[in-house]
Structure 1
Amino acid sequence: MKLSVLKPFSLALAIMFVAFSFGQADFQGKAYYQTKTTMDMSQFGGGNRQVSPEQMKRWQERMKSFLEKEYTLVFNKEESIYKEEERLEAQGSGGGFGGFSSSFTGGPKYKNVKEKEVLQDQEFFGKKFLIKDELKNLEWKMGTETKQIGQYTVFKATATKPVNGFDWRSMRRRGNNDRDKKAENDSTEAKKSGDPMDEVEIPKTIEVTAWYTPQIPINQGPDDYWGLPGLILEVNADRTTILCTKIVMNPSEKDNIDKPSKGEVVTQEEYTKITTQKMEEMRENWRGRGRGGRRN
């Protein structure tokens, strides 16, 4: 990576220039992000059948709207709201996994860094939940490496992040890092059970790299990420990249930063338990149908 040459005086001058704006009582900013998750669809071919290139291409097209999204982060000195930009789906696109995908896509996420509070709307198989919990920070390791994102100088920080529940963004085939006898055995077990999820695993932790800018000295960032001495403009978390494409400081028309309020109130731990139990029920039902089919 080509590193930018940091000019301390210029950076300090820029920070002093924007400090006045941040000191205003009604200060607000809006950052636009693009997210992309890479997924090797060939590894989920089902183990017991071959997928043609044409079918794989159709899968990838249908998955695009699920794997590539746009978000906005509206923030002030203490609060932020992170939500997906609405867009029309092309007819027949299926919205990724169709209705199934909405069960794993969260609604607006509110963070209050002063009160250490996080709230998020979440729908899971038609039921609405409101996840309310303590805002937990990652144990960031501060680096010295820098680069440019647009007009901003950003600094590198890294952390290890626990994965909560069924996070599809880190889903991978078992033995994917050891494509030999183990992967073959896993596919054989999936055939026996009739459950393709037997081929899938989700790691307990993932490695995260964040790039933040002290030119916007706000303790905020997209999605779950915050806790650095500057707005986070880029995140690389396992197979997902979140990149800021535009920032508007003190827009003439300000957005409301409202707390989500609809749905059954649960903690993150309670929600993870609910979703895990539901997925296990679905797997048992799938296995039952598979066993019934083999007996006929």
Structure 2
Amino acid sequence: MIKRFLLSVFLMSYVFGLSQNSTNGLLIYNVDMDEYVKRMESDTESRPSDDMMRNTARRIKKFKAQLEFDGFRAIFKVPQALSIDVNNKFDNMVRLFVSNGTYYTDLEKNHQIWATKFDGKEINVLKESKDKEWVLQNEKKKIGDFICHKAVFLRVVNGKEQEIVAWYAPEIPVQLGPKDYFGQLPGLILELKEPFLTYRCSRITFDKNKIDPWPVFENTITEKQYQDLTKKTWESILQNR
């Protein structure tokens, strides 16, 4: 039922959006940890890691993420800002926290290539679109010039539920958002709240330009292979302690 509803809304929005030339553009996200810090500071039990998280929260606001899209393709990444010291290890760690690599999304093929690094080597991970159980809410709010609708889904990490909240704009008929959030909601995600980070649209521009041709992806592995690789590496680290 929800898929049928999403499809009908998406098709109506798509026709409207084409007339508004809103399927090609560039979206800039500000990134912050404000809500996480509030929850952390309301916790009466202080931990040694809290100071590091506050420092991370302060530095993370120096970074911006960008989503370049042309209707059915998109590139999500964190550009190297001129104000960021590339030799600063902490800044580089924070940058990876915002986006650990570059995400190349192809909605026509219903997949994404995540270009990242592991153990000092560049790898490309093929990520298929997953059927996230988004629950559409009745709440709306205005972000910039667009009326956005709220959607929520729960994911389980290490046995604990985590709530993800997205605010998407049906007026911009592209099923895209930060990182690997794609192919599910009938509109562009202008705001995304995860347990630690919140991505907020600060600027969006539209044009008719197409994204540059895709790079050639070598050393491509599946998500399962990537998970096996990381598991094997961590097991080796723990055994050699």
Query: In structure 2, which of residues 69, 74, 84 is the aligned counterpart of residue 75 of structure 1?
Result: 69
Q: Which amino acid in structure 1 is aligned with residue 196 of structure 2?
A: R
Mark the CA change 1:260 to 1:162 in structure 2 (over 3 Å): closer, same or farther.
farther
Residue 138 of structure 2 is matched in structure 1 by: 144
Mark the CA change 1:70 to 1:255 in structure 2 (over 3 Å): closer, same or farther.
farther
1:209 matches 2:203: no
Larger Rg: 1
Separation in 2, partners of 1:135, 1:233: 19
Residue 117 of structure 1 is matched in structure 2 by: 111
Separation in 2, partners of 1:145, 1:86: 35
Runs of 4+ off more than 6 Å: 14-17
Separation in 2, partners of 1:124, 1:103: 14
Separation in 2, partners of 1:106, 1:135: 19
8 Å contact kept, 1:220–1:231: yes
Question: 3-state SS of the aligned residue for 1:277?
Answer: helix
The alpha-carbon deviation at position 259 of structure 1 amounts to: 3.3
Deviations 1:69-114 (A, max 9, x none): 311111122111111121243487433475x985995221011222
- 5+ residue gaps, structure 2, are 1-12
Mark the CA change 1:16 to 1:216 in structure 2 (over 3 Å): closer, same or farther.
same
Q: Percent identity?
A: 24
Residue 28 of structure 1 is matched in structure 2 by: 24
Mark the CA change 1:114 to 1:247 in structure 2 (over 3 Å): closer, same or farther.
same
Residue 48 of structure 2 is matched in structure 1 by: 45
Query: In structure 1, which of residues 90, 94, 98 is the aligned counterpart of residue 89 of structure 2?
Result: 94
1:164-179 correspondence to structure 2 within 5 Å: none
Residue 222 of structure 2 is matched in structure 1 by: 267
Question: 3-state SS of the aligned residue for 2:90?
Answer: coil
Separation in 1, partners of 2:125, 2:46: 32
Question: 3-state SS of the aligned residue for 1:207?
Answer: strand
Q: Which amino acid in structure 2 is aligned with residue 264 of structure 1?
A: N
- 5+ residue gaps, structure 1, are 1-13, 164-201, 289-296
Query: In structure 1, which of residues 118, 121, 130 is the aligned counterpart of residue 124 of structure 2?
Result: 130
1:14-25 correspondence to structure 2 within 5 Å: 18-22=17-21
RMSD after superposition: 3.5
The alpha-carbon deviation at position 237 of structure 1 amounts to: 1.6
Residue 5 of structure 2 is matched in structure 1 by: none
Separation in 2, partners of 1:96, 1:43: 24
The alpha-carbon deviation at position 21 of structure 1 amounts to: 3.7
With the length of structure 2 as denominator, give the TM-score of the two structures.
0.75
